[in-house]
Amino acid sequence: MGFHDISFRVRYAETDQMGVVHHGNYPQYLEMGRTEWLRSHGISYKAMEDSGIILPVVSISLNYKKSAYYDDLIVLRTYLRKKPMVRIEFDYEIHNGEGDFLAEANTVLAFIDAKRNKPIRCPSDILEKIGF
């Protein structure tokens, strides 16, 4: 399963008056991480949605350890927690460019048939691409 890292800089618009990243931006960072984790395994989020499968977030947990600031380099590490079934679960670690531990997080998403709006099992082609 492994992990996948992405790096990006904090943009001015993501910060408050003190130059600190607003807590509401972290879920967007997590989305970037899991989307790129999937892409690194040959899975396109867009192609999945085009095929009628959507992945809404059903649970999110964030623990903030230290602030991130405007223009900081952020390194976001994304892990798949376990074999996906009807749900897929990711863990995240967020560090700055100096290696300071900024936050840890977890998201749970559900595989949903977009036409019926009903949960489905993780498709076999996705399981194969991620090594199950």
Active site residues: 16
**Residue carrying the six token digits 């399981």:** 127
**CA dist., res. 125 & res. 118, Å (int):** 19
Strand 112-113 to strand 101-110: parallel, antiparallel, or no bridges (unpaired)? unpaired
Q: Which residues contact 70 (CB under 8 A, 6 or more apart)?
A: 10, 11, 12, 14, 15, 19, 21
